[in-house]
A and B are shown apart, each in its own frame.
Chain A
Amino acid sequence: MIRAAGLVDVELGPPVDTFAGASGEDKARRFGTYGYPIRARKSG
C-alpha cells in the first residue's frame, strides 16, 4: 500500500509490545497487535 502511494525503499523496523501491561493488552493480543517503526522515501 505504501508503495502504491508512490513511496519507495519501504522498511519495517523491529516490533514493540506497545500495549503490554496496559488495559488494552487483551484486545491487542486477540489480533497480534504490535507497534512498528516504518520508513520510506519519495523517489527523486
Chain B
Amino acid sequence: MTDIRDLVDLEQLRAEVQSKYREVAEGPTAEYHFHTGRAHALRLGYPASPLDQLPEVACEAFAGVANPFHWGTPRPGERVVDLGSGAGMDSLLAALWVGAEGRVIGVDMTTEMLERSRRIAASLAFANVEFRQGVIENAPVDDSWADVVISNGVINLCPDKLGVYSEIARMLRPGGRMMIADICIEKPVPEEALRDIDLWTG
C-alpha cells in the first residue's frame, strides 16, 4: 500500500490549508464548504455554557467537525495544548475551564488566525492563554508539558498522522489525556483523490 505521505506535496498542502483558513479568519461569516460559528458548535454538542461567556467575535470563525469535550472538559489548574487552534474558540473555552491557575497554549501555522485569536484573547483579558505559531507535527511545546491535548478538525489535514499522534504523546505528561475531534471516512479514498489537494481542503 502506498504511503499517503508519498502522494501529497506537503508544502503545497500546507499552503492551500493556510489559504483556506486565511479566508475564514478574514471573512468568518462567508459561506464555506463547512459550517462555521456558534450555532454550528452548539449543533455539534458543545455545552451552551460556558460558550455563552464568549462574545460572537470569538465564535464566528469556529470551523470544528465534532465536540472534543464529549467526555468531559479540562479541569481547573490543568495545562492544555490546542493543536490547530485556528480562531481560538476552543482555546478560550479551555482557558475558562482551567481558570487562573491553569494554562492554555494554542498552536497554529496560519498568521491571520494567530493574529485574530491573540487579538480576541487580549480583548477579553485572558491572561492564561497564549498562541504560538507552528505546525502540529512539530509543535513548539515542551515534552510532557500538557495535562490535556485538544484539537478539532485539523489532524485530517496532515498526511503524517502517526507523526501528529506521536507529537501528542510527546507533549502529554504520563496519564495525560488526548481529547480531539476529527473526521473519519467510511469509504476507501482512491489514490487520485488523495493526490487532489483541492479535496483535502474542500
Contact = CB atoms under 8 A, between A and B. Distances in A.
Q: Do A and B bind each other?
A: yes
Given A5-B165, A21-B35, A37 B70 contact: yes
Contact of A1 (B44, B162, B185): B162
A35 B175 CA distance: 26
B85 to A, nearest CB: 18
Nearest to A38: B180
A12 B179 CA distance: 10
A38 B177 CA distance: 11
A36 B181 contact: yes
A35 B162 contact: no
Nearest to A3: B165
B66 A13 contact: yes
Interface string B48-65: 000000000000000011
Given A16-B45, A42-B169, A44-B175, A4 B162 contact: yes
Contacts of B162: 1, 4-5
